Structure 1
């Protein structure tokens, strides 16, 4: 990918953004998740840029992008606002939106709130907000797999990370979800990004600011009323690419037909970090879908 451009947004943050391809071509915006950066797309953006205008930001809180103070700065509405402000800055009207992990969660919400801007949606191992919250109550296996979210919300976690060191945190963060040997050549880049002032807190604040309720395994909290109420369907075609060996987000997250009228699901033999683990499969799925 090309060198990063620093872009100041109307939302008050500045993001580092990797931009490739001809602006005259159809635009695609790529949103990374935790704990990554625009580098999530390092093996995918070059292919897309052959015939698309490709925009991949480091989202707020990550790498060297702005890290505003306070958990409230990382609520989904702020992050969706960054996306729309970035598109406006680049004079992009309607675009294809692609998101992995937290980037996919933002993409789902952006598509619900701004369907006039998002022509097509591609989700890679990221849960639909209703389906995810419902499984926190109805699928104990998914609830168990999501207990790490409770740990990430612990306000003392930064102190723990400082005590064990970033390298140990890297190993323990990815050990259950990725092939550490395959990631060895990228380790220095990750540690550099995580080592930026405020980056660990900024990344973790995405979890702390989320309204998703993750009950403890022995807890029976009140069931949110919206889980059993009508929910707006997606108004654009949606491609879901899913690594079926994901141990954090289980196949129950693919129960989407009631909420996505124009749905295509492509299953990949990969874990959670599909874009770097199996980029060729991701590209092939996108191209089959017509990107």
Structure 2
């Protein structure tokens, strides 16, 4: 029962998500959250293997692919997106689950796991920085500040106002080829362009960046330092696996600094020759790391 099936689920949060499901619903549930600028296909290589032992739930998050694209920047505030995770679990009559997130999906996973530890049994993160570490490095590490200037561009760009095929193709080339230096298979390029071409899609995707409260200083800027980045931060209550593609050019390995002080039950797997999109750049390594850790840390 490992075939992937897709369904459209209206949620109590007011959005309808396209969701890929695989595996036996009687098995332990695991929710996979993709990031920018993708869809549930981020996990296309992991889903079949996970579905042999788990009930896999992989949504297109709000604003992406075949899910709802509500209007307004405020609709993409992190707390609203995190609420979708629990509303999705409720819609599938799932109480406690393992949560896995990549990129923006990881940012939401960090938040959701902290807020609802009784429901999130285990947490796995792939190339997504811990919020306190990320904000601190944006102030203190010139390399990470430089690597994150794309966030300022995404907030300010007008590319999404009237995107055309040429503009979207250039966006794809700039993001993957020039900034991240990742080669996207041609068949996947076509899928990206089709998803991004849907009405409102590019605006919705960029609104995740416009809605975030993370401060990204310009290289020559010295803004006030947020007090919360130097004070105590809640410890991560779940067993947590962090998988990191060490050749990520947007989220640098410095973002791993100090994680062991924030996560009592912590394991790190570094994939030396993977970049930002480790789930499909090095799928076997990511799948193996997930399966081995899940087996070693059964949900309580």
What's the TM-score, normalizing by structure 1?
0.97
Q: Alignment partner for residue 261 of structure 1, among 259, 264, 275?
A: 264
Tell me if the contact between 1:127 and 1:253 (Cα under 8 Å) persists in the aligned partners.
Answer: yes
Please say if residues 75 and 210 of structure 1, whose CA atoms lie closer than 8 Å, have aligned partners that are also in contact: yes
Conserved in 2, the CA contact under 8 Å of 1:178 and 1:272? no
SS of 2:156's partner is coil
| Counterpart position of 2:227 | 225
Unaligned runs of 5+ in 2: 296-300
What is the match of residue 271 of structure 1? 275
Cα distance in 1 for partners of 2:161, 2:221 equals 27
Over the aligned positions, Cα root-mean-square deviation in angstroms equals 1.3
Q: Is the 8 A contact 1:11 1:81 kept in 2?
A: yes
1: CA distance, partners of 2:85 / 2:288: 26
Gaps of 5+ in 1: none
Aligned to 2:288: 284
Q: Deviations over 1:81-130 (max 9, x none)?
A: 00000001111111110000000000000011111110000000001000
1:240-283 deviation line (CA, Å, top 9, x unaligned): 00000001011111120111111100000200000011110001
Between the two proteins, the alignment pairs up a number of residues equal to 290
Contact 1:241–1:265, Cα closer than 8 Å, also in 2: yes
Does the CA-based 8 Å contact 2:245-2:274 persist in structure 1? yes
Q: TM-score, normalised by structure 2?
A: 0.94
Q: State the Cα distance separating 1:157 from its structure 2 match.
A: 3.1
- 1:170 matched to which residue of 2? 172
Q: Is the 8 A contact 2:35 2:103 kept in 1?
A: yes
* 2:10 corresponds to: 8
Report deviation, 1:164: 4.3
Q: 1:3: Cα distance to partner?
A: 3.5
Match of 2:187 among 173, 185, 188: 185
Tell me if structure 2 keeps the 8 A contact 1:178–1:273: no
Note the C-alpha offset of 1:179: 3.4
Output one character per residue of 1:45-84: Cα deviation in whole Å (capped at 9) or x when no partner. 0000001000000000001210111000000000000000
Contact 2:182–2:275 (Cα < 8 Å) also in 1 = no
Deviations 1:146-199 (Å, cap 9, x if unpaired)?
A: 00000000152324854842122111111132533x521211111111111100
Offset, 1:139: 0.7
Whole-Å separation in 2 of the counterparts to 1:159 and 1:49 = 39
Q: Which residue of 1 aligns with 2:238?
A: 236
Mapped partners of 1:28, 1:120: distance in 2: 9
Q: Which of 47, 50, 53 is the equivalent residue of 1:51?
A: 53
